[in-house]
Every structure is written in structure tokens, then in C-alpha cells.
Amino acid sequence: MSDHSWSNRLRSAVRARGRLCVGIDPHPALLEAWELPASADGLEVFAELCVEAFVGEVAIVKPQVAFFEAFGAAGYGVLERTVSVLRDAGTLVIADAKRGDIGTTMDAYARAWLEPSSPLSSDAVTVSPYLGFDSLGETVERAVRHDRGLFVLARTSNGEGTGLQQATTPHGVSVAQSIVDSAAACNRVDADTVGLVVGATRDHGLDLSGFTGPVLAPGLGAQGATVTDLAEIFRDCRDLLLPNSSRGVLAAGPSVTALRDAARVLRDEVEAALA
């Protein structure tokens, strides 16, 4: 495995700055709370404050693409600059884009988020397998080729996903478990390129004991999950468990010092809980 592989870069970052992943989610209500205009200019200030607060404090930052996309080309410009500044500073970036399609369309999404020459190029991207896990085949190959990662939606933190994700497949396992098993099979070939998204807000009912890749666990804070839940809910996969908090940390803004302190305190609480 290359020293610059996604897995090695992630493990190195986690050793240095902990497992917490902090979201940059410029929700309209947060823009208002920070007394910023609901415009691309407000978006830019919001992102700049987050970057200043989080660089050097946390290993991973996850911009929520939709909140940038809502401002069209200007919003994408802010996102491009945000991703570039974070990565140049040595902070890993997971683009929370949740892309999922087939064929050349999915490959275009993969080029946008994983190709080094793309202005949106990130360290990893969230993707949906719900057009069939095999629809991600070329995306996995592109990620491997460029030492990037994928986080595949398996058991999400929203209640509406339960019926689909917990449905039983013809092989007698849940749909979500089938995604875990397919991701694990990929990683036996491609060195933990594929991670999972598994919500921290409920007992997920998954067997993760054979999964060696990273697990992004949204829901910490505003959605109700606490650091004390993590060790029990994810008892089989603590090593590369990446608990995610967005609104829980961002509520401390717009003060850079307060944002930085909130991220630092939560990071240390996560590490203590998972020790």
C-alpha cells in the first residue's frame, strides 16, 4: 500500500488529531444565527470562519455540498475554494455529495469529486449504492487509482431509511448488511478504499466485525447521539470510526475561538469514549 494511499493518510490524520469529523453545513438558519446574509457572500464568510477554526484541530472536515449548491455557480466557487484551502492545510476533506447513478453519469460524478485535476477534488466523497452496489464499480476503481476514498450509505441516521435498509434480501440478510458485505469484499482487494456511512443515532443491527474500512457516523450532537453511545453502538469498529458533528459544533459560531474550542472539546470527548 502506498504511503499516500487514502487509508494511510486517514490513519495518520486520526493518530495526529483524533477521529472527530466536523461538518461545514451553512444551513439558512445558521447563516441567520451568525448574522450573515443568505447569499454567496454570506456563504463565503461562513466557510472561511469554519476553515480558520478547524484547521489544525480536527483531522477531517465534511462540507455538505447541498448547502453550497443552493447558491448555484457562486456557491460552487465557494466550495471549490473551501476544499482547496482545507486540503492545502493538511486537513482531510470528505465531500458530502451522496452521488449515485449508473454508467457514464456516475463516472462523471466520480471525476468531479475524485479526479486530481477537478476544482472540486476531495480526499473522499459520500456515495449511494441504492442503484445496486455494482453501479459503484468504476467509482471504486477511480478512487483506488487516485488514492481517494468512498463512504457508501449503508444504515443512515434518518428514520425514513429504515424500511428500505432493513428489508431482507433473497440471501437472508438486510439490504444494509448486504452493502456492508459488498464493501468488505471490495476492501479485501482495494486496501480499505471503501468506507461506510452508518448513523450513530440508533442500534444499526449490522455485523461490522469483518469490516476493516472507515465508518462515518453522522448524528452526533443535534440529531441526538452522544459520545457515550459510540463505544456500545460501534463496539466492533472503533479503530476507524469517524463520528460526525455539524450543527452541534457550528452552534458555537460565529466566533472562531468558540468554534475551535467546541471542536476541540468534542474531539477529546470522542477519544476518551473510544479509548
Q: Where are the beta strands (DSSP E) in 131-248?
A: 149-155, 194-198, 215-218, 241-245
Dihedral sign for Cα atoms in the order 33, 68, 218, 11: negative
CB of 237 closer than 8 Å to CB of 248: no
pLDDT at 1 exceeding the cut of 70: no
Give the Cβ contact number of residue 21 at 10 Å. 28
Q: pLDDT by residue (tens digit) across 173-186? A: 999 999 999 999 99
* Domain assignments of the chain as residue spans, ordered by start: 6-274
pTM for this entry: 0.96
Residues serving a catalytic function are 98
Q: pLDDT by residue (tens digit) across 198-253? A: 998 767 889 999 999 999 999 887 677 889 889 888 987 888 999 999 999 999 99
Q: State the DSSP H helix or E strand holding residue 260, giving kind and residue range, or none if neither.
A: helix 256-274
CATH T-level topology, domain 6-274: TIM Barrel (3.20.20)
